Amino acid sequence: MENIDQIDRKILNILQDNAKITHREIAEKLHLTRTPIFDRVRKLERRGIIKKYLTLLNPKKVGRDLMVLCFVTLKQHGDENVIRFKEEIIRNPKVMECYHVAGNFDFFLKVMVKDVDEYYLFVVNELAIVQNVIQVQSSFVLKEIKYQLNFELEE
């Protein structure tokens, strides 16, 4: 783990809860002034510890009601084939996450679509036509039990 002191951990925990919080508000919470908070946040950004700020949307409110966990196996595993597959997946807006994995499958995808019909069209028209895909296995998420993006950093 990168060298992060107790104040940096507190700042990171606060920002993970609310990325829109101001430096002034963080300073108030930590009983510090704005300048050291500003400097610390910038340093955390430059070091790549803070990767990105984002807004999380409610999938159901934006028409993405169905989450599918999709396991993909490639026919051939040479660098060129894997690179081509990754490029296709990165370009697809329905694929929210993609992991190259070891085990029974080569890739694990998290796909968010409106419904089963849209997923069917995704598999037939977008995934199955990607060169070198030999098998696709899908699991439909019935209920989200835990969804966490924050890392719990000890203070």
Please report, for the domain that includes residue 71, its CATH number.
3.30.70.920
Helix 6-17 / helix 23-30 crossing angle, nearest 10 deg: 130
The dihedral formed by the CA atoms of 85, 91, 96 and 97, expressed in degrees to the nearest 10:
30
Same domain? For 78 and 111 the reply is yes
pTM over 0.75: yes
Same domain? For 65 and 133 the reply is yes
145 domain-assigned:
no
> Residue 132 is part of which domain span?
59-140
Same domain? For 80 and 132 the reply is yes
Q: Measured between alpha carbons, how far is residue 52 from residues 18, 46, 61, 105, 144 in Å? A: 13, 11, 23, 30, 24
Q: Measured between alpha carbons, how far is residue 10 from residues 15, 26, 44, 155 in Å? A: 9, 9, 12, 6
Residue 33: count other Cβ atoms within 10 Å of its Cβ: 12
Same domain? For 73 and 116 the reply is yes
pLDDT at residue 93 in the model: 96
Q: Measured between alpha carbons, how far is residue 87 from residues 26, 96, 119 in Å? A: 39, 14, 20
Same domain? For 23 and 66 the reply is no
pLDDT at residue 15 in the model: 96
Number of domains in the chain: 2
Same domain? For 63 and 42 the reply is no
Same domain? For 63 and 134 the reply is yes
23 domain-assigned:
yes
Same domain? For 85 and 121 the reply is yes
Query: Residue 25 maps to which CATH number?
Result: 1.10.10.10
**Per-residue model confidence as pLDDT tens for the chain (155 residues):** 678 999 999 999 999 999 999 999 999 999 999 999 999 999 999 999 999 999 999 999 999 999 999 999 999 888 888 999 999 999 999 999 999 999 999 999 999 999 999 999 999 999 988 889 999 999 999 999 999 999 988 86
pLDDT at residue 59 in the model: 95
39 domain-assigned:
yes
150 domain-assigned:
no
